[in-house]
Amino acid sequence: MRRKVTVVGAGMTGSTMAQRLAETGYIDVVLQDIIEGLPQGKALDLSQSAAVAGFNGSVTGSNDWKNTAGSDVVVITSGVPRKPGMTREELLNINAGIVRDVASATVKHSPDAVLVIFANPMDAMCHVTLETTKLPKNRVIGQGGMLDSSRYRTFIAWETGASVQDVHAFVYGGHTEATMVPIVSNAMVGGVPLTSLLPKERIEAVVQRARNGGAEIVSLLKTGSAFYAPAAATVEMVESILLDKKRVLPCCAYLQGEYGIQDAFVGVPVKLGADGIEQVLEPPLADDEVEGLRKAAAAVKELVGLIETKA
Give the single-character DSSP code of 49: T
Catalytic residue among 109, 127, 168, 175: 175
* Residue 200 dihedral angles phi and psi, to the nearest 5°: -55, -45
State the SS3 of 99-158: HHHHHHHHHHHCCCCEEEECCCCHHHHHHHHHHHHCCCHHHEEECCHHHHHHHHHHHHHH
Do 270 and 249 form a contact (C-beta atoms < 8 A)?
yes
Question: What is the total residue count of the chain?
Answer: 311
Q: Return all residues near 99 (Cβ < 8 A) that are at least 6 apart.
A: 76, 78, 79, 117, 119, 125, 128, 129, 132
Composition of the chain by helix, strand, coil, percent to 5: 45, 20, 30
Tell me whether residue 109 is one of the annotated catalytic residues.
no
Do 20 and 235 form a contact (C-beta atoms < 8 A)?
yes
48-78: b (≥16 Cβ within 10 Å) or e: eebeeeebebbbbbbeebebbeebbbbbbbb
- Cα distances (Å, whole numbers) of residue 300 to 61, 103, 185, 254: 33, 19, 24, 11
- Cα distances (Å, whole numbers) of residue 205 to 58, 170, 211, 257, 297: 44, 16, 10, 32, 25
Active site residues: 175
